[in-house]
């Protein structure tokens, strides 16, 4: 059954689809492969992690984007990031990343199948418009971002960021997608202390979080979202807030002095199902996810 579904994904997305906006139907197909009903993609289940990473690599290659595994060993077990390169014959490079593992025995729809599906659809759209790109794009899909490896040097994002620094890679910036699918128009939004008087009470916006050197990136993304005029975008240039959002690989790049932006629905500050057994696909708003993706594509196509 898995092979049949995989074949359907390949055939439906490899046709001459010239639509340059994100599609709900594509996201649904991606979610169906990322989230297994029988297995959980956590650090204990290397077989499932390998299945998902192999599928990601294959799907990206169907978009015409070559990939390789970045393999590393933790506690005598091999884990792997998936690193893919969209070659636009440009002099500068932008990194876009997301993690595919989950916390404990969870389905992890918002955290973080949403980020993986979002990055896959972003990659598909940018591959269709490669001639317009002004930057090389490196797509990175990480493993081991969740406990017990969270905040350790075994995180996939740390491994990737360190490898970039070792190669002395100069980047335009790094964009991390982490939990991008949960929205609520009601007054459910919470914040770290001191921010609730500044930002909206409703949970119907996407957040672009950065440190001081990321001011340009967060501004560019929210400007792109504003130009599309479909979903509100809020910028957070706050060291306190950014540090408190350290559930993401965002901070690992900042450690190596890369300009980094986190795109997120703010996770547990909004989503009551975050990291619970109820973090399932039916809780997500895929239409609004397409708006988030379209904004990222719009930003990436700018000089």
Q: Distance between CA atoms of 270 and 164, rounded to whole angstroms?
A: 33
The tokens 């699918």 sit on which residue? 181
Residue 62 lies in a domain: yes
Q: Distance between CA atoms of 40 and 105, rounded to whole angstroms?
A: 6
Residue 105 lies in a domain: yes
Residue 1 lies in a domain: no
Residue 3 lies in a domain: no
Computed from CA positions of residues 48, 54, 57, 58, in that sequence, does the dihedral angle turn out positive or negative?
A: negative
Residue 4 lies in a domain: no
* Beta bridge pairs of residue 173: 94
All residues at 6 or more sequence positions from 4 whose CB lies less than 8 Å from its CB, including other chains: none
Residue 112: which of 123, 122, 101, 124 has the closest Cα?
Answer: 101
Query: Is-contact 95 81, C-beta < 8 A?
Result: no
**16 vs 41, residue with greater confidence:** 41
Residues of the chain with pLDDT > 90: what percent?
Answer: 79
Domain containing 154: what range? 24-301
Residue 15 lies in a domain: no
Count of domains forming the chain: 1
Report the CATH number at residue 55: 3.40.630.10
Tokens representing residue 273 in the block: 């199902």
How much is the pTM? 0.94
The model's confidence at residue 242, banded by pLDDT at 50, 70 and 90, is: low
* Average pLDDT, integer, range 225-250: 80
Residue-wise pLDDT tens digits, 150-187? 999 999 999 999 999 999 988 999 999 999 999 999 99
Residue 13 lies in a domain: no
> In sequence order, what E strands does the chain have?
67-74, 77-86, 93-99, 136-142, 173-177, 205-210, 232-237, 260-264
Query: Does 6 have pLDDT greater than 50?
Result: no
Residue 275 lies in a domain: yes
Q: How far is CA 153 from CA 123, 158, 241, 281, in A?
A: 27, 6, 22, 31
Strand, coil or helix: 262 = strand
């Amino acid at each position: 059954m898995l092979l049949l579904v995989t074949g359907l994904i390949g055939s439906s997305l490899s046709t001459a689809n010239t639509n340059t906006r994100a599609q709900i139907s594509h996201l649904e197909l991606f979610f169906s492969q990322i989230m297994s009903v029988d297995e959980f993609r956590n650090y204990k289940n290397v077989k499932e992690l390998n299945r998902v990473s192999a599928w990601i690599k294959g799907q990206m290659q169907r978009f015409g984007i070559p990939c390789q595994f970045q393999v590393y060993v933790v506690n005598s077990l091999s884990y792997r990031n998936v690193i893919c390169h969209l070659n636009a014959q440009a002099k500068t490079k932008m990194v876009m990343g997301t993690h595919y593992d989950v916390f404990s025995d969870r389905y992890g729809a918002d955290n973080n199948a949403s980020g993986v599906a979002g990055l896959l659809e972003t990659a598909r759209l940018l591959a269709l418009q490669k001639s317009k790109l002004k930057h090389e794009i490196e797509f990175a899909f990480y493993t081991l971002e969740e406990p017990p490896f969270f905040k350790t040097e075994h995180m996939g994002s740390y491994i990737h960021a360190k490898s970039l620094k070792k190669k002395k890679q100069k980047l335009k910036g790094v964009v991390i997608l982490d939990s991008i699918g949960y929205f609520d128009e009601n007054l459910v939004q919470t914040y770290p202390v001191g921010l609730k008087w500044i930002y909206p009470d409703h949970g119907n916006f996407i957040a672009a979080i950065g440190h001081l050197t990321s001011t340009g990136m967060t501004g560019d993304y929210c400007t792109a979202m504003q130009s599309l005029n479909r979903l509100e975008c809020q910028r957070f240039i706050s060291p306190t807030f950014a540090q408190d959002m350290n559930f993401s690989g965002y901070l690992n790049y900042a450690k190596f002095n890369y300009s980094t932006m986190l795109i997120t629905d703010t996770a547990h500050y909004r989503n009551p199902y975050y990291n619970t057994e109820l973090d399932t696909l039916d809780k997500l708003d895929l239409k609004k996810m397409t708006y988030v993706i379209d904004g990222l594509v719009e930003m990436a196509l700018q000089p």
